[in-house]
Amino acid sequence: MSLSDFVKSYEKHFKELAYRLRRVAIVLFISLLLMLSLPASALNPETFMSGLYTPLSVYLVNMIASSVLSSPFMKNSSIIFIAGHLSMGFEIWFSASLFFSLLITIPVLIHELWKFVEPGLYEHEKRTLRRIFLPVLGSFVFGCLFGFFILVPIILRTFIAINLWFNVQPIITYADFIHFIVSTIIFSGAFMTTPIIVYGLILIGVLPVDSLLKYRIPLYIGIYVVAAIITPDGGCFGSAILATPIICLFELVLQLGKRKKGKELRK
């Protein structure tokens, strides 16, 4: 089949996908405009009373940064922030607005993609995806919270401690600080969902549980290596903090998959 024939045969699906992605893009654009322009007084009445205008996205970013710096893990630690360049404030404002608008848009994207792929799925695949959706969402949220409250402050504290070995005061740009927080939270959340996704693939028969059980030691080593890449804290402590709960989840998933296969064989 030529490329043109392939496109023609799936033209209806491409049009539907484009239609659904346009709806997602509209929600993203409106969310971005709101995050760029909506005043912080929507969440902070003191700003409204003082007559000062601060965009909501900037207020949220500063609140996140303040929460990290006030963490018990950051006790007696200090960081000096600099701008780096003149346009840094604008870049953080726009990037933060885009990030929060993406968070608002993600549920719409998931809904539209589900409506697009649902007609082509078998009933057992639909049931499996519905069953694992909430666990995947929950594990992602848990991973993000874990990264924010545990991983980020511990890694920061480790970096500061290492710098103090050389009597060096840590001075970084505020943009790098925010980027570090956001990227660590996202990676932690995404990494935490992998065991649940693997379990879903086991349920629908895409991944053989016997092979995963046979090679789980190299798998766990690989998980630790990925955790070390995500959390480059200069040592094994931060990597172990992230890798340990994920390895435990993987082991639970593999045992559940093994149990399910045993039940199917007994039928």
pTM above 0.85, yes or no: no
Q: What is the pLDDT of residues 3-48, one digit of tens each?
A: 565 556 677 778 889 999 999 999 999 999 999 988 876 566 665 5
Q: Is the pLDDT reported for residue 155 higher than 70?
A: yes
For residues 97 and 57, is the Cβ–Cβ distance under 8 A? yes
Q: What are the φ and ψ backbone dihedral angles of 82, each rounded to 5 degrees?
A: -130, 165
Which residue's structure tokens are 């799936």?
10
pLDDT score at 49: 57
Angle between helices 174-203 and 237-266 (to 10 degrees): 10
Q: Where are the beta strands (DSSP E) in 89-209?
A: 171-173
Q: List pLDDT tens digits, range 170-218.
A: 889 999 999 989 988 888 888 888 888 888 888 777 888 888 888 888 9
* Phi-psi sector, 38: left (phi>0), alpha (psi -120 to 50), beta: beta
73-116 confidence digits (pLDDT tens)? 888 888 899 998 899 999 999 999 999 999 999 999 999 999 98
Secondary structure (H, E, C), 146-172: HHHHHHHHHHHHHHHHHHHHCCCCCEE
Rounded to the nearest 5 percent, the helix, strand and coil shares of the chain are: 80, 5, 15
